[in-house]
Amino acid sequence: MPYLFILTGFLLFCLLHRQYFKLKILLFTFTFLIYYFVGIYTLDQRDTVFVAGEQTIYGKVQTIPVIDGDSLTMRLESNKKEVIQIQAYLYDEHEQKQMKSILIGDSCKISGVLSQPLRPTNFGQFDYKRYLYEQHIFWILRPNRAGIQCISTDHHGYFLKLQRWRQIQLQKIEQNISSDFSGIMSALVFGERIMMDGELLEAYQRLGVIHLLAVSGLHVGMIVAASFYMLIRIGVTRERSMEVLLFVLPIYSVIAGAAPSVIRAALMSMVVLLFMRMKLRIPPLLGIVVVYLAYVFYNPFIIFQLGFQLSFLVSFSLITSAPIIQRRYNHTGFQLVAITMVSQLISFPIILLHMYEIPILSLPLNVVYIPFISLFVLPLTFISFFISFFLPTNYNVFLYLLEAVVPTVHQILLKVAELKWATLIVGKPSTLMMFLFYISIVYGFVSWEKGGKLWWRIPLLFLSLILLFQLLLPYTDSRAKITMIDVGQGDSFLIELPYRKAVYLIDTGGTISFMNEEWRSRRRAFDVGANIVVPTLKAQGIRKVDRLILTHGHRDHIGGAKALAQGLTIKEVLYSKGPVEGEFERDLLTVLSENGATIHFINEGMGWSTGDSSFSILSPVGTEPDLNARSIVILANVEEVSILFTGDLEEEGERRLLRDYPELQVDILKIGHHGSRTSTTEPFLQQLRPKAAFIPVGRNNRFGHPHPDVMSRLEEQEVIIWRSDLNGAVQLLIKNKELNIRTPKGQ
């Protein structure tokens, strides 16, 4: 609202004082006001007609059902014209096969529990609730067992028929093409990555070449050029060829997935073709501005999508840079390097905002992979796909060639992605840092345009200083930070000492799997370490963990350690003294050692100090009978605040601590064993007298943690409770014994 008053006042001022009247200024102001009111109108329309709880909803399938192992996701347009996100758990293989028959446009009756998406529960986590809201989706429906009933209907418009055809072709690719190549074929032809292996997709993303899998301007440009050439060759006039392409491009944008990059490229091609058909010239910059304004007018919330931001930003930069590149660089290779540099520089702050790291090898990889994908893989993929309509797969020579070459190239990409130095972890930049990054980049582009000897020195120095400041920023923070990471039903605590003198991680959480049937395996299996712990640390700019303390060998405490070792540098691992009996434990310790970590088996009496902080090991003795009793118990004194981390210690272990440390008292207690009935006994609480307590516990967990008796004992002693299932991650900022609390809701 303040913007509206300011602009309205400015407009009136210009009208009353004619000397300030400028047509361009007024045109800009008028345009801004139009989009302001469009945004306000769009916000007013964003409301829901449903309420939370058990529901039976009727509607039509709006998106391709994605079945990955025992999970199903799709969107349903209800009979109340509101879109609902469906997230289903598949109970058996028969149900999985049944769900694969669902097509876009099918009418469904779905019974289940309707709930709102969760806000981010960890720092730096993707805001899934906001992502859905920006697409006018307010609810997630989790169907009951056998709660999905769908029937096929034949009354569909052309748009739905195109989407159905697309879905059927994707199913054929999955069935007939080898799994090593089906993913990239579906991505390049149909703009769909659901069939790509999770590790391979992550490698593309981590190394900064993920854009090659998106249907964008390069793909659309090649298709338009090839189609135009073929139409001319078969005798169609230039004018009719343009008209055919103007008709076909909207159809292709739907077939290719209608992502922002596809729509942007298709619309720009249509604008250019339309002006050519009318024998008019259109400046390329005007074309992209018109497309941008039309797209945002139709869907204002699209500006928040990463794909939209990168697509238009990179396209705008390349269009404005094209005359300089063509004038200054005659060799094709130099032009490719210049184009890649412009694209990488303009997009790197936005990618950094979402990925927290810089792909160091992005430039050389793009210089190699852009020609490989564009000139070899892309054309042969389209040719082999069209040939499949006329010839059996066994006779598709181009497909055989691709299936022989592409998997080998992907293996190289996966190996490169395993190199820790392939990316530089920088952390999530603030709004101010984003502004400074773009100021330096724009200044660099202006200097490049002006030319001159050593034009790059000052822009490079400016950008390097900003990057260095971002890297060093955590080392200027005088506060200690202790974070309970929300890993669901598991433990993970991050300790950052003042000025980042050391970083310690106590446990990594982990996913416990109770069923291992082959049909349940997923292409993108959820891993607490890879999906929660590593991104949380990267968002804080943490590149190295000085000590990883694994309290004991249960998966909900150590399951994420493998992904951590592969994603970050771990100097030392502290493991509880005692026999390493489980196969998972042995394999994990081997992986940690192979990744450069020094492993120490520790017991009571050991400890260390760093600066003014001290850490004492109170347990295990080393002769405990089971893993829970063998938990490492750490008494940490950080900035004059004492915290006791207890792992999964239970009643017997608590009694031993009371016996051996009769004077033990703490400010904060990490509740043992997620608040089970066998922990946090009355005598233990009475001696420790904690003022606050952490309870890491999963939402709606099957164990019923924390137990009501434990909660009653804590409440009786008026202990402040932080629960990960209710609060999400909780971060304590400590300085001079003063505590401040921070949660993801306030980030």
Average pLDDT over the chain, rounded to whole?
A: 89
CA 302, CA 35: separation in Å to the nearest integer?
Answer: 13
Is the predicted pLDDT of residue 21 greater than 90, yes or no? no
Q: Do 542 and 535 contact (CB within 8 A), yes or no?
A: no
Output the pLDDT for position 735: 92
Task: Work out the number of other CB atoms within 10 angstroms of the CB of residue 349.
Answer: 19
Is the predicted pLDDT of residue 482 greater than 70, yes or no? yes
Alpha-carbon 266 to chain mean position: 27
Quick one: pLDDT band at residue 124, thresholds 50, 70, 90?
Answer: confident
Q: Which long-range contacts (CB under 8 A, 24 or more apart) does 48-54 make?
A: 48/82, 48/138, 48/139, 49/80, 49/82, 50/78, 50/80, 50/82, 50/84, 50/114, 50/138, 50/139, 51/114, 52/114, 52/115, 52/116, 52/139, 53/113, 53/114, 54/111, 54/112, 54/113, 54/114
CA 723, CA 36: separation in Å to the nearest integer?
Answer: 41
Comparing CA positions, the residue from 523, 510, 619 lying closest to residue 560 is: 510
Is the predicted pLDDT of residue 26 greater than 70, yes or no? no
Query: For 415-427, how does the pLDDT look when each residue is reduced to its tens digit (9 = 90+)?
Result: 999 888 899 999 9
Q: Convert 299-320 to b/e letters by CB count within 10 Å (16 or more is b).
A: bbbbbebebbbbbbbbbbbbbe
CA 666, CA 644: separation in Å to the nearest integer?
Answer: 7
Is the predicted pLDDT of residue 747 greater than 60, yes or no? no
Is the predicted pLDDT of residue 18 greater than 70, yes or no? no
CATH class of 477-511+527-746: alpha beta
Residue 620, preceding bond cis, omega within 30 degrees? Answer: yes
- What's this model's pTM, rounded to 2 decimal places? 0.90
DSSP states along 623-649: --SSTTTT--EEEEEETTEEEEE-TT-
Q: Do 142 and 129 contact (CB within 8 A), yes or no?
A: no
Is the predicted pLDDT of residue 452 greater than 90, yes or no? no
Query: For 73-95, how does the pLDDT look when each residue is reduced to its tens digit (9 = 90+)?
Result: 999 999 999 999 999 999 999 99
DSSP states along 373-440: IIIIIHHHHHHHHHHTTTS-GGG-HHHHHHHHHHHHHHHHHHHHHT-GGGEEE--PPPHHHHHHHHHH
Q: Which two tokens stand for residue 498?
A: 């003042």
Alpha-carbon 658 to chain mean position: 45
Q: Which two tokens stand for residue 494?
A: 């991050």
Residues whose CB is less than 8 angstroms from the CB of residue 464 and which lie 6 or more positions away in sequence, other chains included: none
CATH among 3.40.50.720, 2.40.50.140, 2.160.10.10, 2.40.270.10 for 53-152: 2.40.50.140
Q: Do 498 and 545 contact (CB within 8 A), yes or no?
A: no
Torsion sign across C-alpha atoms 515, 528, 743, 351: negative
